[in-house]
Every structure is written in structure tokens, then in C-alpha cells.
Amino acid sequence: MSESAAGALRLAVDVGGTFTDIIVHDASDGSLRFEKVPTTPAQPSVGVLNAFAQAKATAGRAEYFAHGTTLRLNALLARAGARTAVVTTQGFRDVYLLGRTDRVVAYDFRYRKPASLIPRSRTFEIPERLNFKGEVLCAFDREAAQAVARTIDGLGIESVAVCFLHSYVNPVHEVAMAEILAVTAPRAQVTLSHSLTREYREYERTSTAVLDAYIRPLMRGYIGELEDRLAQERFQGRFFMIRSGGGAMTADRARDAPVNLILSGPAGGVLGAASFAKATNEPNLITIDMGGTSLDASLIVGGEPVVQHEASFHGLPMMVASLYINTIGAGGGSLVWIDEGGHLQVGPGSAGAVPGPAAYGKGGSSATVTDAALVCGYLGTETALAGTLMLDDELARSALAPSAQALGMSVDHVAYGVVRIAIAKIVGAVRAITVEMGYRPADFALLAFGGARGLVAAGEFSTMEGEAIEALEADSFPSSRRRFHRLIDLRYQGQEHSVSIPVEARVDAEELERLGVAFHAAHALRYGHALSDPIEVVTVRTRAVGLVERPELPAVTVRSIAQLVPTTRRSVYQEDGSRTEYAVYHRDSFCFEDRIVGPAVVNEHTSTTILHEGDFAVVGRLGELRVDVFGG
């Protein structure tokens, strides 16, 4: 790796379903550049290199390259991953398919689970058994294992997940299975459950291994392809992937445990929010990221994102560290409909990216939240969304017209109602995460990012003293220093739920006493009470972290000349049925300490912020908008 010379670039790229975003930090002038190019689904690495070009980022000058992606999630959703098999303990081939046998929908007697990633015919058993202490009750049957490996090879299976009972205590049999597979089924890639998590709960551990195995060939292929292209462009810096649990992992590590990339996309935004929390002295933040089909809400506590070890992706559990993110089906594309009882409803169905909201003019005729926001005047027809997409007000209105007729209301009033209902759902989701973690929403500021975000932020969060401000993308990650974080999961004897407590390397009597006190306090915060029961250790975790030098975030300029002037004016629908003129500003024109007084609309590349009468915003040092909501 070359020395961090003046003029070096740090790059961050997020490959989403529709767009590939790039942020470039140029050390020579301290500037940040942001660009957006279309994602190239057939060969996403092409889009990444296109983004480099669009941002005039010469790969040869890049010192760090941090990469997040939601792209391979589509493979999971479409069940288009690798041809995968499960190998498990004799008597337990169905553990994975049965799962926890529960369901979310309460009243559907015809309920079917979502399709499994693998059919039952690709679940295999090996005679072997350990007890919970890791003692061998039944020896590993090598001959049976070889027979299974031959079958796997014969079936042309691409990827194998191995999970034996109690392997988290003693992985000896999983390791033996891997050795046999390497010889007898050399074309198959192998994931061992204990290498991803050393915790009990066989279904969740198997599911983690299956997710890993299922996306492994795809992710390895993609990372290799990208590395090749970067090499062609004379990239000599370090290449990191954003991991679901925060932080970044080297491309090599990502190849070995791709399951850690499943929430890579959403994690990038939350990590950016965490560094922003530190930079702006707002240690506690609620983050919301609203996209086309869904909204992700997350928490920053004390400047750090909240990490959990029992995450899931669309109902598929994964026992790897993941940021705590609550996803609800409310996005710009959520569909508007009238139920049989004559009430207006929003979602959970979505118009998706194609055809998308009616106003996109891509053939969609169903009304969505985006259409409603356009009719209300929150979005405009005068500026393009994401650079190129112009909205059509007439299409939005005609899509909403049938609902308006059914309700006997004006199109404007229905549009306003759609926005109100969407906000009500979002507020519920945000309250849920803070309450579940034992916090009060009022102790948090609100950080909104994602396309549709500003619409909701200024609307309803007055009770939470929300401050809608711009998010920053994750930065680059060099590795100069190392730190170790040791965590111990404790619980009251016989209970299920545990609490993670940081622990010193050396556990002596004093440390034990401190742990006890800390556990009782943490349990009281998280669960509302402490018990006098004995405490037991569930899991010990160590996290090794490479610390990075973070570049100074560039401050926005101070206004020297001219007043801030609106680019245009727009009429915005009000609750009482009237329309009011709102000044429309472009965010690029803001300088440090500018005050924007509502009624106003702030437009930008990727998002829109609405300030109603009585609201005002101040531009912070880093260009963030600090909104004070008084009206609403």
C-alpha cells in the first residue's frame, strides 16, 4: 500500500437496486463529491467503475475504497442463490425446514411459510452426536459422511452448509465434515456453522450457515470480478466491504463469511449517522431511511449504533452481529387503496421500482405516497428527482381521483390524508424501537436520510424534538491501529434473554463484582427490573477492530455575499383545505448559519424537506439542517 500522499482519494460506493451512489473525499482540497449512476444489474462491477468515472475519481489515486451493497439481497428474495445443501446430525434433517414453527399472521388458516431456500431432498444427515458440554455421545461416521459427500457431488450442489448439534461448543465434527467434502465434493463451497457463530439455538445457527452458503458463490464471484476491474484501473489502495454489524471487513474476510454483508446497504447509512452523531454532538439519534418500498428505522445511542446478535432478513434468522434496524412496509411507492368499509388505506402493497408511482410516467396507474406528496406540493414538477426523473402532476392526480370520488373528498384532501396515514405508521415504527430497547423517544434527536425522508421528518415528530439533518455516507477504512472489544453475555439463571456487558481482558474478583453490578443495571434498563437470582454466563464475544483515521468532514462555507433567495415558489396544500405559497430553496445554495423559515420547501439531489408555518431550520457547520418544529 502506498503512503497516504497528498491528493489521495477515499471512495465509498453503495450499489442499490436502482442506483449506484459514490462519495469521493479528496484529501488534496478536503472536498466531498457525490454522484449517482444507474446500477448495472447484469454486471454490477461495471456500474461501480462507471460511478468512479462519473465522479472523476481515478482508481490509481484511491487510498481506500469502502463498498456497501443491497444487490445480492435480490437473489435471496427471488430464491435465486446457489444450489445449496444442508448437512446435519442424524435425526435432525428437518430442523432447518421446520424453523420455529410460528407465524406472524394470526387469522389465516391457509397460511404457508415463505418458500425455503433449499428443498427437503437436499438435507442430509450424518450419524454423530455431541451433548451440550461438547462430549461425543456418538462418533462421527466417516463412511456415511463420504457417502453423503458423493451424493452432494453427484447432484452438482454448489454450496454446502454444515451444522451439527452443539457444534458451538465443540466443532470437531463440522471440521471433519469439511475435510471430507473438500476431497470428495471439491466443486462445492462449504460453510461451517461454528465459524460464523458460537452460540446455541440450532435452527438460527443453521439458518445463518445456509444464508452464507446460499449467497457465497455469488458474492465471491462479484468481489473477484470487482477486484479484477480495480486492478485493471491500477487501484492500489485497500478494499473494504461494509458489514451488517457496523464497521468494515476486508474483501478477503467478506469472501469467507458473506453472510455478514446481508445488511451491508442499510448499515452504511446508520454508520454514517453514528459518525455524524459524534461530529455534531448529538449522541442519541433515531435514524430513518425511507426508500421506495420500505422504511428502515434505527438507533444511535451514545454515538454508537445499536448492535444485536439475533437479526433476521425477511424472516430468515442470522446469528451474526447486525445493526438494530426496524423495517416497515411504508415507502414512497406504498399503494393507496379504499377498503370495503370505505376507509382510505396506505400499503403494505407497493408499486415497486417498476412501474413505480403513477407520477413517474412509467405506466403505473395506481396512486402511491409519492403521488400524494406531489399533489400536496411537497414534491415539485420543476426539479428532477435523482438527476433525471421528472414527476407528472396530472398523472398523480388522475391516479388519486378514484379514491377521492369513493370518499367524496377533493383529490388534494385525499393526498394530504395519504401523507398523514403514512406518517402515523412511521411514528409507530420509530416509537417501537426506542421503547423496545428501554429508551424514551424524547431523549433522541431525529436524523432522516433516504429519498422520501424530509417529508415525514418535519411533519409529525414535534413531540420528539426532531431535527432533520443530512446524513453522511460511510467513510473509508484504513487499518493502522487495532483494538479489542470484549463482551460477555449474562443472564439470570433459567432465563432466556441475556444482556451484553463490556468486560476487561483479565477477569478477577473485582471485575466480577463490577460485572454483577453492571448486569443488574443493564437488565433494569433493558427489561425494567432486576432479580435476586444467580447470574450465569451465556456467551463471551471478542471483536477485533482496526481503527481508521477519519478525514475531517468539510465544513460548509460562510455566507459572504448576497442573501439566500428561493429558487421558486410552490403552492402547498393545508389541513384546512387552503393552499399556501411555500418558498422553494435548493440545498446546494445554503451556507453556514443560514436560517430558513417556514413555510418553505428545501429541494436537493436525493431528498426534500418541508418546513410548515412556524417551523424553521438552521444550517449547521457540516451543512446539516437543524429543524425546529413548532407547527404541525
Partner 1 sequence: MSPDTITVEVIRHGLIASADEMARNLCRTAYNTIVYEIHDYGVGIHDADGNVVADTPGVASFTGANDFGIKRAVEFLGRDTLRDGDAVLLNYPYWSCAHTLDALVFAPIFFDRELIAFASCRVHLLDLNQKDPGYVLDSTDMSQEGIVFPAVRICIGGEPNQDIFNIIRFNSRMPERTIGDVQAQIAACQTGERRVQEIARKYGAQPLRQAMKEINDHGERLALAALARLPKGTWSALDFVDSDGIDVDRMIPLKVTVTITDAKMIVDWTDTREPADGPVNVPRGLTVADTMLAFKALTTPDSPVTAGNFRPLEVLTTPGSLLEAVPPMPTFTLWTGLLIPEVITKALAQGMPDLVPACSGGDVCDIMTLGAQPDSGLRWLEAINDAVGFGAHSEGDGEDGIMHVTEPGCRNSPIEVLETKAPILIDDYGYRADSGGPGRFRGGVGVVRTYQFLAPSTAIVINYKTKTRPWSIGRGLPGESNTVVLHPDTDHQQHVGASYNHFLAGERIRNLTGGGGGWGDPLHRDLKLVMADVSAGFVSVQNAEADYGVAVDPVTLELDERGTRSLRR
153, 188 Cβ separation under 8 angstroms: yes
CB of 295 to partner 1, least distance (A): 14
CB atoms within 10 A of CB 30: 12
CB of 266 to partner 1, least distance (A): 21
DSSP state for residue 490 in the 8-state scheme: E
Of the pair 111, 630, the CB lying nearest partner 1 is at 111
585, 603 Cβ separation under 8 angstroms: yes
Q: Which three cell numbers stand for residue 366?
A: 395506481
541/537 Cα distance (integer angstroms): 11
308/315 Cα distance (integer angstroms): 16
Of the pair 52, 416, the CB lying nearest partner 1 is at 416
CB of 236 to partner 1, least distance (A): 46
Give all strands (DSSP E) within 479-613, no chain letters. 481-492, 499-502, 535-547, 568-573, 579-586, 595-597, 600-603, 608-611
371, 399 Cβ separation under 8 angstroms: yes
CB of 586 to partner 1, least distance (A): 32
| Helix/strand/coil for 500 | strand
Nearest CA among 165, 464, 205, 185 for reference residue 320: 205
Of the pair 433, 469, the CB lying nearest partner 1 is at 433
CB of 158 to partner 1, least distance (A): 20
CB of 426 to partner 1, least distance (A): 10
CB of 585 to partner 1, least distance (A): 29
Of the pair 5, 138, the CB lying nearest partner 1 is at 138
Of the pair 420, 543, the CB lying nearest partner 1 is at 420
Of the pair 254, 316, the CB lying nearest partner 1 is at 316
CB of 434 to partner 1, least distance (A): 10
Q: Which single residue is written with the C-alpha cell 449506484?
A: 20
Of the pair 112, 595, the CB lying nearest partner 1 is at 112
Sign of the C-alpha dihedral computed for residues 476, 481, 482 and 487 taken in this order:
negative
* Secondary structure (H, E, C), 80-127: CCCCEEEEEECCCCCHHHHCCCCCCCCCCCCCCCCCCCCCHHHEEEEC
Q: Which three cell numbers stand for residue 438?
A: 428501554
CB of 139 to partner 1, least distance (A): 16
201, 497 Cβ separation under 8 angstroms: no
Of the pair 338, 564, the CB lying nearest partner 1 is at 338
Of the pair 230, 421, the CB lying nearest partner 1 is at 421
CA distances from 294 to 105, 290, 359 (A): 19, 6, 19
Site residues, partner 1 (CB under 8 A): 91-95, 97-98, 100-113, 119-121, 131-132, 137, 165-166, 168, 200-204, 339-345, 407, 409, 413-414, 416-417, 420-421, 424-425, 427-428, 431-432, 435-436, 438, 463, 494-497, 526-529, 531-532
Of the pair 95, 180, the CB lying nearest partner 1 is at 95
Crossing angle of the two packed helices 411-436 and 393-407, in degrees rounded to 10: 90
Of the pair 386, 530, the CB lying nearest partner 1 is at 530
| Alpha-carbon 337 to chain mean position | 28
CB of 117 to partner 1, least distance (A): 15
Q: Which three cell numbers stand for residue 140?
A: 462421527
Burial 586-606 (b: 16+ CB within 10 A, else e): ebeebeeebebebbbbbbbbb
CB of 414 to partner 1, least distance (A): 8
Q: Which three cell numbers stand for residue 273?
A: 449517522
